[in-house]
Amino acid sequence: MSKISHRVVIAVFPDVDLLDVTGPAEVFALANRESGGRARYQVRLAGPGRAGEAVATSAGVRLLTDIGFADVGDAVDTLLVPGAVEVRTDGPLPRIDRHVVDWIKDTAPHARRIASVCVGAHLLAAAGLLDGKAATTHWSTADRLAADHPRVAVDPDPIFIRSGRVWTGAGISACLDLALALVAEDHGEDLALAVARHLVVYLKRQGGQSQFSVPISRPPASRRDIDELRLYVADHLTEDLSAAALAARMCLSERHFARVFTQETGTTPAAYVEALRVEAARRLLETTDQSLEEIARTTGLRSVETLHRAFRRQIATSPAAYRRRFRTTTTTTTA
């Protein structure tokens, strides 16, 4: 490979989450391959010991470091910080290693950008890099991050957030979304799309999207026919999905169907359908220039007025305001 353009240094330390490390590394490697070597990412694993030392991850797989913390120097394009947790009865506890935090604090000023994956945000916060910034982390530790670091504007919902030169990602598979966004920033959407296709992942879940989609945010129903109906609804948003139509499809009376559906899903049929349609509309607002009329029609909301009402109920904003905020991945917060 020719001259290195992007030296990516990924911190590794005992019990680090394996995918937090290998996911972004694979994205950058594929960016090199899909661009014919023009992307020129060089990934180096840096650990607290000497180069070549083994570090045990949370999965039990051992990683060999390329370089020790002390030898990283100041030639860093992207500093990527994954996380590690201690599983306790009261929930996961992010591990804060002071040696790692001190190294991050010393290395960050030399990096063009800094990114955390999952609970790695807790390490960035401990190093003072998130003060005054918007940030996200794994949903299970977001409350702790906010409590421990009140100067950080923690948002537990997005997949990733960019705040100046600092990026924070949710957990754990969101590391792919974050890394793809970094590639897109460096080399454009076409290369990021080529990498996403190779990985067989969706490009791209925008940073403003929720860590959970409507179908997976609700547990499976105990009735298989209800789960099958939920899949049907997701695939037929433009059709008649009224309670009466769905009840007829289930061969139940409308009253009995509404009672069963609410019991199984925790929400009414109408609210569930509306949430799916709003989610589809959000994706179109984030990724296309379709008019509000087109979006309302293609998501089954039918009219701009209905689209507005649904957005107000579901996410307390208007479609236009949502598009202005999430059409790109950059937040308004500055470095």
Q: What residues are annotated to the active site?
A: 118
3-class SS at 13?
coil
pLDDT of residue 171: 79
pLDDT of residue 325: 66
pLDDT of residue 314: 85
Q: Which domains does the chain have, with CATH numbers?
A: 6-199 (3.40.50.880), 214-326 (1.10.10.60)
pLDDT tens digit sequence for 133-142: 999 999 899 9
284-313: average pLDDT = 93
pLDDT of residue 329: 42
pLDDT of residue 103: 97
pLDDT band at 2 (very low <50, low <70, confident <90, very high): low
By the 8 A CB rule, do 137 and 154 touch?
yes
Cis peptide before 204 (omega within 30 of 0): yes
pLDDT of residue 199: 83
251-265: average pLDDT = 93
3-class SS at 70?
helix
pLDDT of residue 216: 41
pLDDT of residue 93: 93
pLDDT at 183 over 70: yes
pLDDT at 298 over 60: yes
262-268: average pLDDT = 90
pLDDT tens digit sequence for 187-243: 988 898 888 888 876 544 444 445 444 554 455 556 788 888 988 998 899 999 999
126-132: average pLDDT = 97
pLDDT of residue 78: 98
Q: Give me the percent of the chain exceeding a pLDDT of 90.
A: 65
pLDDT of residue 323: 83
- CA 312 to CA 65: how far, in whole Å? 50
pLDDT at 267 over 70: yes
pLDDT tens digit sequence for 17-60: 999 999 999 999 999 999 998 999 999 999 999 999 999 999 99
pLDDT of residue 281: 92
**Which of 13, 23, 29, 322 lies closest to 171, judged by CA?**
23
Query: Per-residue DSSP letters for 196-210?
Result: HHHHT--TT--TTSB
Amino acid sitting at position 3: K
Q: Give me the percent of the chain exceeding a pLDDT of 70.
A: 89
- Average pLDDT over all residues of the chain: 88
CB-based burial label for 159 (10 Å; 0-12, 13-18, 19+)? buried
How crowded is residue 22: how many other Cβ atoms within 10 Å of its Cβ? 19
Q: pTM of the predicted model, to two decimals?
A: 0.66
By the 8 A CB rule, do 307 and 321 touch?
no
pLDDT tens digit sequence for 51-108: 999 999 999 999 999 999 999 998 899 999 999 999 888 778 999 999 999 999 999 9
By the 8 A CB rule, do 94 and 117 touch?
no
By the 8 A CB rule, do 168 and 115 touch?
yes
pLDDT of residue 292: 96
By the 8 A CB rule, do 177 and 209 touch?
no
